[in-house]
Amino acid sequence: MVPGHEIAGEVTEVGSKVRKVKVGDKVGVGCMVGACHSCESCANDLENYCPKMILTYSSINTDGTITFGGYSDHMVANERYIVRFPDSMPLDAAAPLLCAGITVYSPLKYFGLAEQGKHVGIVGLGGLGHVAVKFAKAFGAKVTVISTSPSKKTEALEHLGADSFLNSRDPDQLQGAMGTLDGIIDTVSAVHPILPLLGLLKSQGKLVLVGAPDKPLELPVISLIMGRKTVSGSSTGGMKETQEMIDFAAKHNITADIEVISMDYVNTAMERLAKADVRYRFVIDIANTLAATKP
């Protein structure tokens, strides 16, 4: 298996029927490289919900071969699954938007939270959470970061521009914010209680899960019934929306906060990742790594 699915680079060669890009263009490939193109999801530009979606790596391609990801010197992809980067966007800091960015952009739009004056909570300030704050602010929303780490308050308010911060371990803070949020984007992938989050929502508020805990979460149904509240999920986005997200990000100068590393640093990076010691995405500079190793 060759992994890697937030891939950014330049076009070096195109097929004879390609019209979308040309040699030299700055492009990216996200989480998928294929789908059936005949189902309802594909017809609605939601290839990410196609039951036959082909993931960028370790998936079975249409020709029966295994797909290889972006941790390589080159890759080949169908033009439908290519995203064009505006010249103004740096490839390294834009690459994480192809997964983390679209994963938070899509639910903000779909659930009506990408509107001026909406009050949005972002749970977790990591790879997804920090770009969620940036997108929500760019949409004109009021943003509250919700975290178990009080140490992230300064980062949330001063660096990322959030309007307020809630320590989710502090009952008094939670009580003071009850019923104030129109929606919450929950990016946490660890098992955690959602009852306190539902309490923060206004009536008819929406809690959208984009993290993926490895065990089922407990669903407090009474809280849903009494406020006509919704718990939902969301997964990346289709290719049309992913291009829209990149164009929006370029217009509003949104990129991921990254640390660029060489390929031989990957094992150390994985150890640091396990300790949450990264702000907020490692990006591997493969081209320069390869250039440095050539005799």
Q: For residue 181, what are the domain limits?
A: 100-233
Nearest to 225 by CA among 204, 208, 244, 207: 204
In a domain, 170, yes or no: yes
At 194-209, the pLDDT tens digits run: 999 999 999 999 999 9
Q: What is the pLDDT of residues 60-76, one digit of tens each?
A: 999 999 999 999 989 99
Rounded CA separation 259/290 (Å): 18
Closest alpha carbon to 100 in 46, 165, 158, 31: 31
Kindly state whether residues 91 and 110 are assigned to the same domain. Answer: no
In a domain, 126, yes or no: yes
Q: Which residues contact 24 (CB under 8 A, 6 or more apart)?
A: 10, 11
Task: Report the number of distinct structural domains present in the chain.
Answer: 2
Residues 185 and 92 in one domain: no
Asked if the structure places residue 268 within a domain, the reply is no
How many distinct helices (H) and strands (E) make up the chain?
Answer: 11, 13
Q: Are residues 87 and 20 in the same domain?
A: yes
pLDDT band at 266 (very low <50, low <70, confident <90, very high): very high
Least confident of 127-131, 181-185, 274-278: 274-278
Q: Write the CATH number for 15.
A: 3.90.180.10
